[in-house]
Structure 1
């Protein structure tokens, strides 16, 4: 069995740097714990603090339906090869009502499976375009206008963009289980 490549930066063990205590407390209050991701982020307090605020807003303070949010997050993780992120979001997806069939289908990157409903397919098509090509064709974006107002479109696009940042950070620094 191949050994996973090693993490590219050290972990910051919570409680070992007194100057990080207020930030660690804020992370714990929002997240319930200081995960492996945040132990990496704590190497830079400004990045960790900004990251926590932005990702908390994206995940917990928008009006985007939880199932659509989690489908987009899982799809980004699959497309970018971020297994740590995928595994971290499966419990959130299950709580949001995403079925085991959809969890299996989201892993198939060659096409968007018909197990998904019309709105889910639109969200996944946007996610695929943003993640694979950055540029989103009008034929992918325009159908979403019938489903989301400007606020909803901004929140959906920001979710996909933010989780591309997350997955690319994790993959580049080799954060894994």
Structure 2
């Protein structure tokens, strides 16, 4: 841990009143309470709501894992959230995202060469939502033509949620 954190992480196991919440986080996150969640534990209601939302985005959405991880990596690049990029690069690789695509995702502006049509579409949406907030009608029309209502909500929520994550990480100087 670093002294540069704006808010100190809560060391797991040191606050008995957080035991149940820590266990829920461990269950969804693969057995550990990452430093992001340790900082979130300073506010149990926020940590709990955060975990429920991000678990839904990561594990209960119908969006293919490779598309999800590309959106997350792109948000991290645009928001200068190195923690988020480093945390999700292995997930992207596991989901089948190639090294060429991971490198291309770092470009500003984005080099869309190595991406499929679906990947280009969600990345274009990601760029608009992250950089300008508003999404041009044409992009939204293409999104609605490609995804049903649930899919549109899940794609947009993925981008919105990971903008929240990256902005939290950057603002509080949470690093590996």
CA distance in 2, matches of 1:156, 1:112: 21
Which residue of structure 2 aligns with residue 115 of structure 1?
114
Deviation readout 1:80-107 (Å, 9 max, x if unpaired): 0000000000111001100000000000
* Large movers: runs of 4+ above 3 Å: none
Question: How many residues are aligned here?
Answer: 174
Which residue of structure 1 aligns with residue 9 of structure 2?
11
Of 9, 12, 24 in structure 1, the residue corresponding to residue 22 of structure 2 is: 24
SS in 1 for 2:146: coil
TM-score calculated relative to the size of structure 1 = 0.96
TM-score calculated relative to the size of structure 2 = 0.96
What are structure 1's unaligned runs of at least 5 residues? none
Q: Which moved more, 1:160-169 or 1:137-146?
A: 137-146
Residue 134 of structure 1 pairs with residue 114 of structure 2: no
Q: Which moved more, 1:112-121 or 1:28-37?
A: 112-121
> Do the aligned residues in 1 keep the contact of 2:63 with 2:154 (CA within 8 Å)?
yes
